[in-house]
Each structure stands twice: as C-alpha cells, then as structure tokens.
C-alpha cells in the first residue's frame, strides 16, 4: 500500500495538472478539443493561437487623404477594432467581445464603443429566437440596451476583417459613458463597410482602460 507521503505527492501533482489545464481553458470540455470548430476558428481569429485563457486581436485602418477624397460621404477617418475571446465558467465554447475606436472627418476627438459578440457563427445553434446571422459573417457584436452593433468577417487570408455597422452603433466620446456623451456611427452611404488590417496589439491599447487587461495584452 502506498505511503501517505506518496499519496500526498500524487494528489498534489494531479491538482497542479488540473489547475494548468483549467487555466488553458480546455479541461473537461470536449467541445474545446484541438480539432473542434470553435478552436479552429479561434486560431484563425488570433493568428494561430487559441486563447489560453484569453485571446486578443487588433485590426486598424487609417484612411488617407486620397481615399477620403474619393469617398466624400465617408465620415470615418480611423477605425480600430479589438476582438477578445475567453472561456466563461459553465460554457462550452469561447465567448467573444469587442471594443471599437473611431475618429471622424467632421467631429473632433476620439470615440469608442464596446459590447458582447457571443459565440462565433461556427458554433451558434440555429434558433428561431436568435438573430439571423448574415451570410459570410463570423461574429455579430452588439452594444447593450439596443445600442446597435456590427458584424465582423475574417478576410484576406485572415489578415483583415470586414466590419459592417448594423444600421448604427452607439458610441461615446472620450470614454465618457454618460448618456449625454452618447452619439452614433450610422451606416451611411460610404460608412457601410470597413476593411481593417491585422496589426500589433499596441495599436489597440488606447481602447482598454482596465489595468489588469492592459497587462495581459502586453504579455501576448
């Protein structure tokens, strides 16, 4: 019969292994096998790495003067999108969220918005009560309290995303979340579709205020 010391060592090793697996986000969850659609998509979104335990991807577009001259009705001059995914307790697939930063041609200052995206389209279960996902869309993101949202689709061999406002998306100026500071990005004639390119996370740092999350991003 094993000694008490051996049994304690074995128990400690098993606990440590379980803790490591749980931190990675895969323990006891068959939906998160390496070949699952959820993990396969997350590797595309996060440039080859599944979130362990949280993933970040930054996409940015700065429109130059020539582009703006060719699109006189476009109001957006800069758009930044930070996509985040993590495991949520008791859930079987990754939960996505977003932060959006915008600068305008005709409005000074920095504007931003944020919200939840739920699961990726590849893992959503068709449901009559669920919003219909447009063809080609990977993620549907929404702002709370009927604040509109955007659809996000990977493009250009996953080096870019196509962002489309859902009619409108509520935004705030200067991280002021008061309703008095709220306005909207409307899907106008030249503000319906935006292609943003993948870039380093530093480009999206300004969208994050939480210190712990900033530290996590800097370690990616």
Give tens-digit pLDDT for 78-91: 999 999 999 888 77
The residue-averaged pLDDT of 192-203 equals 96
What is the C-alpha to C-alpha distance for residues 112 and 79, in angstroms, rounded to an integer? 9
φ, ψ of residue 200 in degrees (nearest 5):
-70, 155
The residue-averaged pLDDT of 53-75 equals 96
CB atoms within 10 A of CB 219: 6
Between 4 and 205, the higher pLDDT residue: 205
pLDDT surpasses 50 at 10: no
Contacts of 184 (CB under 8 A, 6+ apart): 148, 168, 169, 170, 171
If pLDDT is split at 50, 70 and 90, which confidence band does 32 have?
Answer: low
Between 85 and 176, the higher pLDDT residue: 85
What is the C-alpha to C-alpha distance for residues 180 and 106, in angstroms, rounded to an integer? 19
Evaluate if pTM is beyond 0.85: no
CB atoms within 10 A of CB 11: 10
- How confident is the model at residue 40, as a pLDDT? 93
The residue-averaged pLDDT of 7-27 equals 34
If pLDDT is split at 50, 70 and 90, which confidence band does 160 have?
Answer: very high
């Amino acid at each position: 019969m094993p000694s008490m010391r051996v049994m304690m060592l074995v128990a400690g090793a098993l606990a440590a292994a379980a803790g490591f697996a749980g931190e990675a986000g895969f323990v006891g969850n068959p939906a998160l096998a390496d070949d699952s659609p959820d993990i396969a998509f997350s590797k595309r979104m996060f440039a080859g790495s599944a979130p362990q335990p949280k993933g970040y991807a930054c996409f940015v577009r700065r429109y130059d003067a020539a582009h703006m001259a060719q699109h006189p009705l476009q109001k957006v001059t800069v758009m930044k999108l930070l996509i985040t995914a993590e495991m949520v307790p008791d859930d079987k697939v990754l939960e996505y969220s977003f932060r959006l930063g915008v600068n305008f041609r005709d409005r000074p200052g920095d504007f931003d918005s944020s919200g939840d995206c739920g699961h990726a389209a590849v893992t959503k279960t068709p449901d009559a009560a669920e919003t219909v996902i447009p063809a080609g869309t990977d993620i549907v993101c929404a702002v709370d309290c009927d604040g509109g949202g955007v659809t996000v689709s990977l493009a250009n061999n996953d080096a870019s995303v196509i962002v489309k406002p859902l009619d409108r998306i509520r935004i705030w100026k200067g991280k002021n979340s008061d309703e008095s500071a709220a306005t909207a990005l409307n899907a106008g004639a030249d503000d319906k579709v935006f292609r943003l390119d993948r870039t380093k996370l530093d480009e999206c740092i300004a969208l994050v205020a939480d210190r712990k999350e900033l530290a996590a991003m800097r370690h990616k």
